[in-house]
Chain A
Amino acid sequence: MKQVDDHAAQSTPRPSAPASGSGRPAGETYVWVTGMGLTVGLTMIVLLLALVVYNGVSVFWPRHVALVEFQDDGATRFRDGTRALGVILIEQDRDMRDLTPEQRDSPNPADRREKQLFLGNRDAFGQSFAYFSAGDIERVSYPEEVIRAERMEWGDAIFFPIRLELQDADPIEADDPAFDSTLHKLVDEVNARRAAITRIERHAIGQINLQMRDLELEERFYSRQDALTPEQQAARDSVRDRMEQLRAKYEPLAAEAAALRAKQEENRLVYRLVTGDERSMPLGQVVHYYYPNRLTLAGRARLFAGHIWGFLSGYPREANTEGGIFPAIFGTFVMTLLMSVAVMPFGIMAAIYLREYAKQGPLVRAVRIAINNLAGVPSIVFGIFGLGFFVYFVGGNIDRVFYDRALPTPTFGTPGILWAALTLALMTVPVVIVATEEALAAVPRGVREGSLACGASKWQTIRYLVLPASAPGILTGLVLAMARGAGEVAPLMLVGVVALAPNLPVDAIFPFIHLERKFMHLGFHIYDLGFQSPDSEAAKPMVFATTLVLILLVVVLNLLAILVRNHLRKKYATDKF
């Protein structure tokens, strides 16, 4: 009895508690401690997710635009005027150090608070956001005629429309009933024209440029030779001919694009800012516009969906702070897929060898420990290795052997999506090996023996029974690897990610999958937006939205793998062993 008491006291060190205790079981305290650990962890995750989801989604909601009027005798002014126009984002306590003594002691708590407004019109104001003391605000109204327009440059504009100046018709005043319908039609037209320009410049001219580059390389090869044989001369002439032909094809395309561009500038929209300044812009600048204070809830929801779609499917503009993130989504997706394709066979083969064939001894144990440690190596180290080995060594040698005409311009000897995928595959291969080994080990001995007793060879046993039975576990490993790979940024910066890639890694130009291209990645996009863009305040909503997309992408990839896994589980193992 005494001994039991001693034991209990040892396992729960409670120096101040009386020795006889309250009769509580010894482990009880730790239930609370461990439970609290879980609670704290879960709370933090839920809060983080809620923050990201709220901020990421609310970016796209078309909010009302407020006309804020300040007291005439107050200290707050906007550009020497008493009015500001914008979206009220937050209201918060001001920093105590910024307060005047009167404000600090003021009986009105509003004097110690401030509102943040999104003003837009960065071209005119030089800033997109401003804080105003809440106590100085006299009136807030929501004028119906305000327009918010998304532009190709300088971010959004928020203004009172004055009139449309048309090339081949009389101007239309803003209070004219035809104003809105005309503006709508014209914006649709400029968008169609912009798509046409993109088609010409990105695809047709892009293809010509690619062919031209190849021909130039060939040309340069011939011009570097001292003496040309007659055949080489003929080849060179044919190259020059083809270059001429391409140039001839290029001219009309370029002219067409230029004509379309000129048309974009034809019609102009004249508008007034809240400060009273009158400005105008060519309609070609407008991506879309709406009357934020006139919308019904349904209209608002439609716009919301449109904004989200534009964000997901669009290309970035203005140093990534505007427009969409489609290339980053696509790049992340393709890179993760390539990585999975690379990591699966190697991880599984290695695990099969380690678990099924290798003689279990000190060497195998050492290898296993090394693999586990590999999973703990900082990812940047893998990035450096990828740069040194894949990019410079492997890529450099590929260039020397297959692309020597292009040298010194590297083709594969420069960071690209293939090297990024391989680097991440190397980084995540331990995860797959460990998971596969566990899955293999979980296949019961009885099944293996039964198979051997049926006259199956070892490989047949692995192939027909062990691998199918462990497929769910292997896929779990792949899920983990994918989740880690898709969210990784540091090594990618060295081996292929760029802030703005001119082309997608997969497109309609032969050979369709361009493994040597640089690519965009959501994780790097977040870093670039949040920490590298000139106006981080303006980029903040995009950071949240992009983060949300990255999280969703990882979730979708995981769900996909889990679905496949459950399907396999149903197919192969209808019972736990």
Chain B
Amino acid sequence: MNEASPDSAPAVDVAQAVRQRRVEVAQRKPEADADVNLQHIQVCNYSFFYGTTQVLFDVNMDIPERRVTALIGPSGCGKTTLLRNINRMNDLIDGIRHQGDILIGGQSVYDRYLEVISLRKRIGMVFQKSNPFPKTIYENIVYSLRVAGRNKKAELDETVERSLRGAALWDEVKDRLKESAFSLSGGQMQRLCIARAIANRPEILLMDEPCSALDPVATGKIEDLIDELKKEYTIIIVTHNMQQAARVSDRTAFFYLGKLIEYDDTQTIFMNPAEEQTEAYVSGRFG
């Protein structure tokens, strides 16, 4: 049959290749494929537009794996926008447009063979305002497993304990897993959201000002947690708090009006910045 119409052979091959690639992308794990590191993020000449207003200008960043990278800068400079484009949460908004690319493990997040759902499964996200689901604590954690069709009780139980321990919440809630998530305090809710974000063992963790609504005690707990989590995850954290950035991050990127002004080791950014503007911002002279 293939011999009769040689033109049709490549068509079959393309379809197969697409399927193959999908499977590969979905199943790829760092340990399975040594030269692909799914925790490594590269932002290449990236510009972003809401309608006609440009909010990111030609950003270039190489974000190392298993490190904490802090994004700092005054409000409205585009930190959230960049973060939300890494797992393509901005797809929900009408009239968006981008130039350049964001690569994870060398693959573009805009790759047409990459399903956005499988991308998001590999990236955990913690939002500025804690957003527990109106369900029990238990169901909140296992949500990402359930939507992936994994419903085995043993696995779910194991996940709940591991994630809650990971988020330093286990001891506080282990006796009330069947209670509503709304019965938790503000700090606990945010840690629950972190636990939820790491439940599905993602490779990357995105955090958008996770402590902005919390008291110092809760903030301290979450900072300790970030220190712990970076052993396993690549973490990108947006923060307004200079001390926090200095405390928790290894690398810091300073944004101003949508431009990446300076990106270097945290030490350097805070002690010895190359740019005037960075110096002014981190020393609190404007912001």
Contacts and interface: CB of A to CB of B under 8 A. Distances in A.
A449 B133 contact: no
B193 to A, nearest CB: 7
Interface stretch (A124-132, A166-174, A568-576): A568-576
B271 interface: no
Contact of A451 (B118, B129, B143, B148): B143
B156 to A, nearest CB: 14
Nearest to B199: A454
B143 A447 contact: no
Contacts of B182: 574-575
A447 B92 contact: no
A171 B202 CA distance: 98
Interface stretch (B45-53, B119-127, B212-220): B119-127
A453 B125 contact: yes
A465 B133 CA distance: 7
B143 A449 contact: no
A447 B133 contact: yes
A455 B134 contact: no
Report which residue of B118, B125, B143 has the largest number of chain A beta carbons within 10 angstroms of its beta carbon: B143
Interface string A389-420: 00000000000000000000000000000000
A454 B129 CA distance: 16
B231 interface: no
B109 to A, nearest CB: 14
B89 interface: yes
A35 interface: no
B87 interface: yes
B41 to A, nearest CB: 16
Contacts of A573: 134
B196 A454 contact: yes
A447 B146 contact: no
Interface string B174-196: 00000010110000000001001
A455 B180 CA distance: 22
Contacts of B92: 449, 452
B118 A444 contact: no
Interface string A452-486: 11111100100011001100000000000000000
Contact of B120 (A444, A453, A577): A453
B98 to A, nearest CB: 19
B200 interface: yes
B134 A464 contact: no
Contacts of A453: 87, 89, 120, 123-125, 127, 197
B131 interface: yes
Nearest to A573: B134
Contacts of B183: 574
Contacts of B132: 450
B147 A446 contact: no
B133 A450 contact: yes
A455 B133 contact: no
A454 B120 contact: yes
A575 B193 contact: no
Contact of B118 (A452, A455, A460): A455
Given A446-B127, A446-B129, A574-B180, A455 B148 contact: yes
Report which residue of A453, A460, A464, A468 has the largest number of chain B beta carbons within 10 angstroms of its beta carbon: A453
A455 B147 contact: yes
A577 B182 CA distance: 9
Interface string A427-457: 0000000000000000010110111111111
A447 B89 contact: no
A450 B131 contact: yes
B146 A464 contact: yes
Contacts of A457: 117, 147
Contacts of B118: 455
A441 to B, nearest CB: 15
A400 B123 CA distance: 60
Contacts of A572: 134-135
Given A455-B147, A574-B182, A450 B134 contact: no
A454 B143 contact: yes
A464 B134 CA distance: 10
A573 to B, nearest CB: 4
Given A447-B133, A454-B120, A454-B200, A464 B125 contact: no
A449 B121 CA distance: 13
A455 B193 CA distance: 14
A160 B251 CA distance: 107
Contacts of B131: 444, 446-447, 449-450
B144 interface: yes
Contacts of B123: 453
Nearest to B87: A453
B181 to A, nearest CB: 8
A573 B193 CA distance: 17
Interface string A540-564: 0000000000000000000000000
A446 B129 CA distance: 8
A276 B92 CA distance: 90
Interface string B11-42: 00000000000000000000000000000000
A239 B32 CA distance: 77
A455 B120 contact: yes
Given A460-B147, A574-B180, A452 B134 contact: no
A216 B36 CA distance: 81
Contacts of A450: 125, 127, 131-133, 193, 196
A430 to B, nearest CB: 27
Contacts of A469: 134
Interface in B142-188: 143-144, 146-148, 180, 182-183
Contacts of B196: 450, 454
Interface in A140-194: none
3 nearest A-B residue pairs (beta carbon): A575-B182, A446-B131, A455-B121
Given A449-B89, A455-B147, 16 more contacts: A447-B134, A449-B92, A450-B125, A453-B87, A454-B147, A454-B197, A455-B200, A456-B147, A457-B147, A460-B147, A464-B146, A468-B134, A573-B134, A574-B183, A575-B134, A575-B180
5 contacts: A446-B129, A447-B134, A449-B127, A456-B143, A573-B134
